[in-house]
């Protein structure tokens, strides 16, 4: 069950944005997304928040500068998702450009699990590093840091995940979400945190006179990777993150993106000059993630740090093959999940917690996301981990902070969850297989307390109706240039249409010709192949269809009534 609502828009702010020069429609769109001044839409790099505001960034820069001066060996320990891979790649490229001796290791999720565990520290120690630098992990690695110290290795933590009650005893921690950090943007992805540390390090080296005899490296060359990790990790695109993503997209569109990103776009026949956040989140990101889900994310990292076109193309092809395999596994898992839920009545439950012994540990997160979308409930799906344990991946809906919900379960049942971590909308955990029924009951109880009935009805928020003159290529192009994503949603509109024609294309999509006061317009309803009524109320976005070198307006239908 879904309901269509119009985004609330503060009229006084929209009117001020109009006075600042925006069209009434754009003023309404931006005001509804929290924009209060036109300067917030300025994506020039000079408006990026200063690294000086990020707690411990300068302290870590000093430690890294000392390590470079002493020719100490650094080892990056990365996470195995797209944010971790891009953060690792940014760290490798940036640190090497600044003079560091640095290598990397990324845990195989099936052997070592997530983060800087004691086991991964012992594996890392075989490389004899002086310093371990974590990216996109480490804030919960109390035992791993202790093991590193036992082995005589210093640890620097860069992370963005929410900290627990106890912090690891690392030499330095940079995390915008740690206590006492006044950095205005709490939504930096792991790759964004690493980029900020590099900016601080460059400033520290500049102050030490390092660049008196050689040019400073251009850290802006890393922004395509920062943009990819930020979009792929689905963090909120606040003002600062939109600057990072916009600047990265500009590099890609200008043909100056990394060889790996260009190879993946080329493989999928996506023109680099037309790249948007959609391509990063739904074309490049999933193929990068496939390496970490099914095999080893070091393959994805190799793709992103390569400057060789031939090598990048070869790795991109491997990543695409893995993504095809992932989709096949996901389809089988989704079929089995829906079969198990055949008699499920959403009204009977506030949550879903599912386990199947045949499910693939690397794909349960995607499965949870699909089931969350279908049933509009918080969902946690579990797969076998080590002996006697199952690993879960969860996705939430607006109104339930998933990590906080798991924290509440853990406090009420101290021995139920073995470990957990994450964000508001996504989290991971491990429990004993024998405790699944107890966990399912405890999680359902917490969800029933934190969610009300209205939260369980999916809302489709629109920006209202378009005037006939606004059904235009010009508006579609203008909207396409903006950075849309999590927390800064792409504009959706609604309207009544007569259906002039409809046919199924590609076996699973509905191609439509819709008529309104604006005239007739082509539309596509992706992943929907059932006939619609002769008259419909549709929710849609504007897009550009290009065929034989000619561009025309096309509506992307998102919902039909």
- Say how far apart CA 82 and CA 544 lie, in whole Å: 28
Residues 333-352 pLDDT 10s: 999 999 988 877 877 899 99
Evaluate whether 170 touches 163 at the Cβ level (below 8 Å): no
pLDDT at 114: 80
Average pLDDT over residues 502-524: 95
Instruction: Using DSSP, state whether 452 is helix, strand or coil.
Output: coil
Evaluate whether 275 touches 247 at the Cβ level (below 8 Å): no
Can you read off the two tokens belonging to residue 283? 């074309």
Task: Using the predicted structure, report yes or no on whether residue 468 has a pLDDT greater than 80.
Answer: yes
Can you read off the two tokens belonging to residue 494? 């609604």
pLDDT at 494: 97
Residues 123-132 pLDDT 10s: 999 999 999 9
Average pLDDT over residues 14-29: 96
Any long-range contacts for 417-426 (C-beta under 8 Å, 24+ apart)? 418/389, 419/140, 421/114, 421/115, 421/140, 421/161, 421/162, 421/164, 422/161, 422/162, 422/394, 423/161, 423/162, 424/396, 425/234, 425/395, 425/396, 426/234, 426/365, 426/393, 426/394, 426/395, 426/396, 426/402
pLDDT at 291: 94
Query: 98-121: b or e for each residue (b if 16 or more CB lie within 10 Å)?
Result: bbbebebbbbbbbebbbbbbbebb
Q: What is the DSSP string of 139-177?
A: TT-HHHHHHHHHTT-EEEEE--SPP-SS----SEEE-TT
| Nearest partner of 57 among 155, 222, 200, judged by Cα | 200
164 confidence band (pLDDT: 50, 70, 90):
confident
Rg of the chain on CA atoms, in Å: 24
Task: Using the predicted structure, report yes or no on whether residue 404 has a pLDDT greater than 90.
Answer: yes
1 confidence band (pLDDT: 50, 70, 90):
low
* Locus of tokens 């378009």: 466
Average pLDDT over residues 370-389: 92
Residues 260-292 pLDDT 10s: 999 999 999 999 999 999 999 999 999 999 999
Instruction: Using DSSP, state whether 208 is helix, strand or coil.
Output: coil
Record the pTM.
Answer: 0.92
| Nearest partner of 90 among 208, 230, 263, 267, judged by Cα | 230
Average pLDDT over residues 176-193: 97
- Say how far apart CA 271 and CA 358 lie, in whole Å: 39
Task: Using the predicted structure, report yes or no on whether residue 210 has a pLDDT greater than 70.
Answer: yes
Instruction: Using DSSP, state whether 94 is helix, strand or coil.
Output: helix
Average pLDDT over residues 306-310: 97
Q: Are strands 379-384 and 131-135 parallel, antiparallel or unpaired?
A: unpaired
Task: Using the predicted structure, report yes or no on whether residue 58 has a pLDDT greater than 90.
Answer: yes
- Say how far apart CA 402 and CA 425 lie, in whole Å: 6
């Amino acid at each position: 069950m879904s309901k269509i609502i119009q985004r609330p828009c503060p009229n006084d702010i929209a009117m001020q944005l109009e006075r600042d020069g925006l069209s009434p429609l754009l003023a309404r769109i931006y005001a509804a997304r929290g924009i209060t001044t036109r300067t917030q839409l300025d994506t020039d790099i000079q408006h990026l928040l200063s690294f000086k505001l990020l707690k411990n960034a300068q302290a870590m820069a000093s430690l890294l500068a000392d390590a470079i001066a002493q020719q100490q060996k650094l080892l990056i320990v990365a996470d195995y998702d797209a944010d971790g891979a891009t953060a690792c790649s940014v760290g490798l490229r940036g640190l090497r450009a600044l003079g560091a001796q640095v290598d990397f290791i990324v845990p195989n999720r099936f052997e070592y699990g997530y983060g800087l565990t004691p086991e991964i520290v012992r594996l890392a120690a075989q490389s004899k590093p002086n310093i371990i630098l974590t990216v996109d992990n480490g804030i919960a690695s109390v035992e791993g840091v202790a093991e590193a110290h036992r082995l005589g290795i210093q640890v620097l933590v860069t992370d963005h995940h929410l900290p627990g009650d106890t912090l690891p005893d690392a030499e330095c921690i940079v995390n915008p979400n740690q206590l006492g950090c006044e950095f205005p943007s709490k939504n930096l992805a792991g790759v964004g945190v690493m980029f900020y540390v590099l900016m601080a390090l460059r400033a520290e080296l500049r102050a030490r006179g390092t660049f008196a005899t050689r040019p400073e490296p251009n850290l802006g060359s890393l922004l395509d990777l920062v943009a990819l990790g930020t979009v792929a990790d689905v963090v909120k695109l606040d003002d600062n993150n939109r600057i990072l993503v916009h600047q990265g997209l500009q590099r890609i569109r200008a043909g100056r993106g990394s060889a790996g990103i260009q190879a993946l776009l080329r493989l999928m026949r996506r023109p680099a000059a037309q790249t948007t956040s959609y391509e990063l989140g739904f074309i490049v990101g999933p193929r990068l993630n496939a390496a970490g889900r099914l095999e080893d994310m070091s393959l994805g990292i190799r793709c992103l740090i390569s400057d060789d076109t031939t090598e990048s193309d070869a790795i991109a092809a491997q990543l695409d093959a893995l993504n095809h395999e992932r989709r096949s596994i996901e389809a089988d898992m989704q079929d089995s999940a829906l079969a198990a839920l055949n008699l499920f009545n959403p009204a009977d439950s506030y949550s879903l917690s599912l386990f199947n012994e045949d499910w693939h540990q690397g794909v349960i997160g995607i499965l949870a996301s699909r089931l969350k979308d279908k049933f509009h409930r918080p969902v946690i799906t579990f797969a076998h981990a080590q002996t006697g344990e199952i690993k879960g991946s969860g996705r939430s809906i607006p109104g339930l902070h998933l990590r906080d919900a798991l924290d509440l379960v853990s406090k009420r049942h101290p021995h139920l969850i073995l470990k957990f971590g994450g964000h508001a909308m996504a989290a991971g955990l491990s429990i004993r297989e024998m405790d699944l029924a107890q966990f399912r009951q405890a999680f359902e109880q917490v969800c029933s307390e934190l969610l009300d009935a209205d939260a369980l009805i999916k809302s489709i928020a629109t920006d209202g109706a378009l005037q006939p003159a606004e059904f235009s290529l010009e508006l579609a192009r203008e909207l396409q240039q903006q950075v849309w994503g999590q927390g800064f949603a792409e504009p959706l509109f609604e309207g009544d249409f007569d259906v002039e024609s409809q046919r199924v294309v590609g076996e699973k999509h509905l191609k439509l010709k819709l008529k309104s006061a604006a005239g007739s317009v082509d539309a596509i309803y992706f992943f929907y192949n059932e006939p619609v009524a002769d008259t419909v109320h549709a929710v849609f976005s504007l897009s550009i269809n290009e065929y034989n070198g000619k561009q025309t307006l096309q509506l992307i239908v998102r919902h039909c009534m």
